[in-house]
Amino acid sequence: MKMNLNELEIRILGCLMEKELSTPESYPLTLNALLSACNQKSNRDPVMVLTENEIAAGLQGLGSRGLARLTTTGGRVGKYCHSVEGKLGLAVPARALLAELMLRGPQTAGELRNRGERMAQFPDLEAVEEVLLELLKCGPPLVARLPRQAGRKEQRYAQLFAGLPDLPDLPDVHDVHNVHNVHDRRSDRATATENPAFRPPAVERLIKLEAEVGELRGEVGALRRETEELLAMFA
């Protein structure tokens, strides 16, 4: 099943999934309640300012994919709920992590555990990683593991309901870190490469930085190929 949801649809679906788990007493949501949830300033990145007409259009798009529907259960006022559990067969922990990724963008497993506890209990980080692995193995995959950011040890995860996220080419290491006078240091670097004992601190940092960026470039390329191949299988 290929999703290709737009940003509006993802925000609406994420809100429905979040409110089902965090405030079940007020779920399903009226159109007005859903509007407030989508425009909420906390636990949202980016913050949006949507209208009722936009929400209605987004609900129509989700409905056409079988991911949301209108219900009158519990009263005469129409209310909306998602159909992710029935459509994709996802349990509560998986829905909680996906909702966080939809509402806040890419995050590490640690961030997902801390922020997702209001919707589902995760005893430890390993439990979060197990759920993420299940989502990675879905057909097609519902999340992707992004390449490490420079200077960070933990990798982030992103939801794939909009397709493969943009993975911009990594800029040149000299531009990123504003390393000046590289030309004048070439002889120093050559000497440092041959004899590490003579490496000035700046050259040492530059060499490590170039190695790290090279590794990240490889991770980005591998992720692109792997995710594109998996998505193509279910297009």
Buried b or exposed e, range 14-46, using 16+ CB within 10 angstroms? bbbbbbbbbeeeebbbebebbbebbbeeebbee
At 189 the pLDDT is: 47
Long-range residue pairs from 124-130, CB within 8 A, at least 24 positions apart, any chain: 127/93, 128/97
Same domain? 142 vs 188:
no
pLDDT at 179 > cutoff 60 = no
Same domain? 28 vs 128:
yes
At 164 the pLDDT is: 77
Average pLDDT over residues 17-29: 97
From residue 196, alpha-carbon distances to 98, 139, 186, 192 in Å are 47, 49, 14, 5
Taking the C-alpha atoms of residue 191 and residue 80, their distance in angstroms, rounded to an integer, is: 67
* 3-state SS, one letter per residue, for 51-80: CHHHHHHHHHHHHHCCCEEEECCCCCCCEE
Residues in the chain: 235
User: What proportion of the chain, given as a percentage, has pLDDT over 70?
Assistant: 68
Average pLDDT over residues 122-139: 96
Average pLDDT over residues 54-70: 97
pLDDT at 174 > cutoff 60 = no
Beta partners for 159?
A: 143
Is the residue at 74 inside a domain?
A: yes
pLDDT at 218 > cutoff 90 = no
Beta partners for 143?
A: 159
Provide the pLDDT confidence category of residue 163 given band limits of 50, 70 and 90: confident
Peptide bond into 123 cis (omega under 30): no
Q: Is 133 left (phi over 0), alpha (psi -120 to 50) or beta?
A: alpha
At 149 the pLDDT is: 82
Q: 164: which residues sit within 8 A by CB, 6+ positions away?
A: 144, 224, 227, 228, 231
Same domain? 21 vs 68:
yes
Provide the pLDDT confidence category of residue 148 given band limits of 50, 70 and 90: confident
User: What proportion of the chain, given as a percentage, has pLDDT over 90?
Assistant: 60
Same domain? 181 vs 110:
no
- Please tell me the least confidently modeled range out of 27-36, 59-68, 123-132, 185-194: 185-194
Same domain? 181 vs 226:
yes
This prediction has a pTM of 0.73
Q: Which two tokens stand for residue 29?
A: 């949501």
Domain range holding 189?
173-233
Same domain? 82 vs 141:
yes
What's 74's domain CATH number?
1.10.10.10
* Average pLDDT in the chain: 82
Beta partners for 89?
A: none
